[in-house]
């Protein structure tokens, strides 16, 4: 009997050792600006926009996504602010920029790219924690195995080591999805209110956010329907959560409208709702054709198998 326990303990230490290595590699790749993953959207949809706003003398161009002309704006400036503008502004406050605001090549890296990437890298451990939590629930408790298989899979792969440190809205969406789903598994009053706020914020960050959290919402509603306090949930807690969601959405709409329109007191007709504009743009075949099209069944035969393989594969 002692041998299996010793074997399990050694396996835990071995697996945790691998995970610690992945942590060092993730920070190393972020600090050294490893070019293993190069995607233009990382710059066009976040870093470039923040640079244009904070250091206008160093960046005069922004992508159409953030321009209040033509099809734009289709992205919420308020939703990406904490992930990009905030860390860059903090560095700028601690180490003031040159008087003329012009940055050298090294300044562009150290003042702009590095703070944003490091902040995203730190936040990338939230999905790791959620993966560990879920994998622990999926483990067979009888054999007492360490719940690290899915965590190691996600953290040691190309995506975990490189992609998760990039300043992409996809990564920030993943972080919010993990927080939302974790909260949904514990239907307390505070958790539901936080879900409402995060849910509204996530929609403005990326319009695809509801797709990923819907299964957890349905599971939560099912559990609430079986609860002895379901009347309290339906008559009190859920309506308050809806109100919180509306307040958060209203604030994001207001801040986006003020920024894009330039009016400090915008009219109701001036309101810019970026998620709706984003969906409108991405629902027209003529505009989608500019970015490339692929058959609808591509998701069924390629994407979903890639997503589900770590879950259904034997551990």
Q: What is the mean pLDDT of residues 269-280?
A: 90
Q: Which pLDDT score is estimated for 315?
A: 45
CB 202 within 8 A of CB 173: yes
Instruction: Provide the pLDDT confidence category of residue 220 given band limits of 50, 70 and 90.
Output: very high
Contact criterion met (CB below 8 Å) for 205 and 169: yes
CB 237 within 8 A of CB 189: yes
Task: Give percent of the chain above pLDDT 70.
Answer: 83
- DSSP string of 21-42, one letter each residue: HHHHHHHHHHHTT-TTS--THH
Tens of pLDDT, residue by residue over 161-174, are 777 788 889 899 99
Average pLDDT over residues 85-109: 86
Q: Is the pLDDT of residue 3 over 60?
A: no
pTM: 0.85
Identify the residue with better confidence: 199 or 62: 199
For residue 232, what pLDDT is reported? 93
Whether pLDDT at 8 is above 60: no
> For residue 150, what pLDDT is reported?
64
What spatial distance separates the first Cα and last Cα of the chain, rounded to whole Å? 22
What pLDDT was estimated at residue 307? 65
Angstrom distances, CA of residue 269 to CA of 66, 258, 261, 266: 19, 13, 11, 8
- What is the pLDDT at residue 56? 86
Q: Per-domain residue ranges for the chain?
A: 12-308
Q: Which residue has the tokens 């990338």?
A: 124
User: Does position 5 have pLDDT exceeding 80, yes or no?
Assistant: no
Residue 6: band (very low, low, confident or very high) from pLDDT cuts 50, 70, 90: low
State pLDDT tens for residues 15-55.
Answer: 777 788 888 888 888 888 776 666 778 888 888 999 889 88
DSSP letter at 162 equals T
pLDDT one-digit tens code per residue, 58-82? 888 888 889 888 888 999 999 999 9
pLDDT of residue 314: 47
Lowest mean pLDDT among 116-125, 136-145, 163-172, 263-272: 136-145
pLDDT, mean over the chain:
83
Cis status of the peptide bond prior to 116, with omega within 30 of 0: no
pLDDT at residue 184 above 90?
Answer: yes
Has residue 84 got a pLDDT over 60?
A: yes
What pLDDT score was predicted for residue 192? Answer: 95
């Amino acid at each position: 009997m002692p041998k299996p326990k010793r074997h399990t303990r050694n396996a835990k230490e071995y697996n945790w050792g691998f995970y610690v290595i992945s942590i060092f590699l993730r920070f190393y790749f972020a600090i050294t600006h490893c070019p293993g993953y190069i995607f233009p959207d990382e710059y066009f949809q976040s870093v470039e926009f923040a640079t244009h706003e904070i250091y206008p003398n160093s960046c005069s161009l922004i992508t159409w996504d953030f321009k209040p002309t033509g099809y734009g704006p289709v992205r919420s400036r308020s939703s990406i602010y904490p992930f990009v503008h905030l860390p860059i502004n903090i560095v700028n406050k601690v180490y003031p920029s040159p008087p003329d605001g012009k940055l050298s090549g090294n300044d562009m890296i150290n003042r702009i790219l590095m703070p944003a990437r490091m902040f995203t890298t730190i936040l990338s451990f939230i999905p790791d924690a959620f993966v560990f939590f879920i994998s622990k629930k999926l483990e067979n408790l009888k054999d007492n195995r360490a719940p690290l298989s899915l965590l190691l899979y996600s953290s040691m792969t190309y995506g975990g080591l490189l992609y998760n440190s990039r300043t992409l809205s996809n990564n920030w969406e993943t972080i919010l999805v993990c927080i939302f789903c974790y909260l949904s598994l514990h239907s307390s009053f505070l958790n539901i209110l936080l879900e409402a706020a995060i849910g509204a914020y996530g929609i403005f960050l990326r319009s695809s956010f509801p797709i990923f959290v819907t299964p957890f919402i349905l599971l939560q509603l099912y559990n609430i329907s079986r609860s002895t306090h379901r009347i309290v949930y339906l008559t009190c807690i859920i309506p308050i959560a809806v109100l919180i969601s509306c307040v958060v959405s209203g604030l994001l709409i207001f801040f986006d409208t003020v920024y894009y329109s330039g009016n400090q007191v915008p009219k109701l007709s001036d309101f810019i709702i970026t998620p709706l504009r984003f969906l409108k743009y991405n629902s027209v075949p003529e505009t989608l054709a500019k970015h490339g099209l692929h058959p609808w069944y591509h998701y069924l035969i390629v994407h979903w198998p890639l997503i589900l393989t770590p879950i259904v594969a034997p551990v």
